[in-house]
Amino acid sequence: MPENRGKFITFEGIDGAGKSTHIATVADLLRARGLVVVATREPGGTPLGEKLRELLLHEAMHLETETLLMFAARREHLARVIEPALARGVWVVCDRFSDATYAYQGGGRGLDKAKFASLEQWVHGHLQPDLTFLFDLPPEAAGQRIVRQGREMDKFEREHADFHARVRQAYLERAASAPRRIHVVNAGQRLEEIKKIVEEIVVTYCL
Ligand code: TYD
């Protein structure tokens, strides 16, 4: 790896765990250190990926179709945005990545783990995020946050609490299997407290 390669930081959690605020915090922190940062998201992040996002978030489809489209959008995102940025020394902060597929399609919907693993290997076998935040919150609390926001819910947000409980469980299992990369943050704490913890983790592990 060239020395001046950028770093790749991802943000995960069940719907309503409140990752958006913290993505902005991390991007600001990095920019304040003089780093060039691209903030992006999945599914999405490219013109094609955003079209796939529309379908993924609003159309009912077979579980394997959903999984393949998530990885198709990801392949495009890696090729057009993430890999070129990292190679130029730009840092990439991304709202969700493959851990979300593991948790939602795997944990939530029951996709065979071997199928997930082979797609992950195919699409980005050589690359994992340098650092991942998992914002953890019980589904009941996360659901209340979404209801309070009062906006229209997408396909995943409309799933029942037991779906989100399985997603959460899968995220925690994934975190336990990659403890150096995935940092679990209790998202039930005060915003200021979470911000402090997130900043400390970035400074300790990335800068
Ligand atoms: P999200 O990132 O939460 O966006 P917003 O904050 O605008 O609602 O929405 C993306 C949804 O897509 C989320 O419910 C999780 C789901 N998702 C998967 O099911 N699998 C994946 O691989 C990814 C990246 C997302």
**Confidence band, pLDDT 50/70/90 cuts, at residue 2:** low
Q: State whether the beta carbon of 100 lies less than 6 angstroms from ligand 1.
A: yes
Q: How far is the CA of 124 from the centre of ligand 1 (A)?
A: 19
Nearest CA to 137 among 146, 148, 128, 129?
Answer: 146
Nearest CA to 108 among 176, 53, 171, 184?
Answer: 171
The pLDDT of 66-75, averaged and rounded, is: 98
The pLDDT of 84-90, averaged and rounded, is: 98
Q: How far is the CA of 4 from the centre of ligand 1 (A)?
A: 31
Q: Which contiguous run of DSSP H or E holds residue 95?
A: strand 91-95
Q: What percent of the chain has pLDDT over 70?
A: 99
| Ligand 1 pocket: which of 11, 58, 96, 168 to mutate (most atoms within 8 A of CB) | 96
The pLDDT of 129-145, averaged and rounded, is: 95
Q: Which amino acid residue places its CA nearest to atom 23 of ligand 1?
A: 100
Q: How far is the CA of 105 from the centre of ligand 1 (A)?
A: 11
Q: How far is the CA of 91 from the centre of ligand 1 (A)?
A: 21
What are 8-28's pLDDT values in tens digits?
Answer: 999 999 998 989 989 999 999
pLDDT averaged over every residue in the chain: 96
Q: State whether the beta carbon of 10 lies less than 6 angstroms from ligand 1.
A: no
Please compute Rg for the chain using Cα positions. Answer: 16
Per DSSP, the three-state class of 180 is coil
Q: State whether the beta carbon of 156 lies less than 6 angstroms from ligand 1.
A: yes
Terminal CA-to-CA distance of the chain, rounded, Å? 17
The pLDDT of 52-65, averaged and rounded, is: 98
Nearest CA to 3 among 86, 125, 127, 78?
Answer: 86
What are 102-135's pLDDT values in tens digits?
Answer: 999 999 999 999 999 999 999 999 999 999 999 9
Q: Which is the closest atom of ligand 1 to the Cα of 101?
A: 22
**Token digits of residue 16:** 């309503």
Q: Which amino acid residue places its CA nearest to atom 20 of ligand 1?
A: 101
Q: Are 80 and 4 in contact (CB under 8 A)?
A: no
Q: Are 33 and 86 in contact (CB under 8 A)?
A: no
Q: How far is the CA of 128 from the centre of ligand 1 (A)?
A: 18
Torsion of CA 32, 126, 129, 163, to 10 degrees: 150
Q: Any idea what the Cα angle at residue 72 is, between residues 67 and 76, rounded to 5°?
A: 150
pLDDT greater than 90 at residue 1: no
Q: State whether the beta carbon of 116 lies less than 6 angstroms from ligand 1.
A: no
Q: Which is the closest atom of ligand 1 to the Cα of 20?
A: 6
**Confidence band, pLDDT 50/70/90 cuts, at residue 57:** very high
What are 27-43's pLDDT values in tens digits?
Answer: 999 999 999 999 999 99
What are 174-206's pLDDT values in tens digits?
Answer: 999 999 999 999 999 999 999 999 999 999 998
Nearest CA to 206 among 14, 10, 1, 2?
Answer: 10
**Token digits of residue 165:** 């409980």
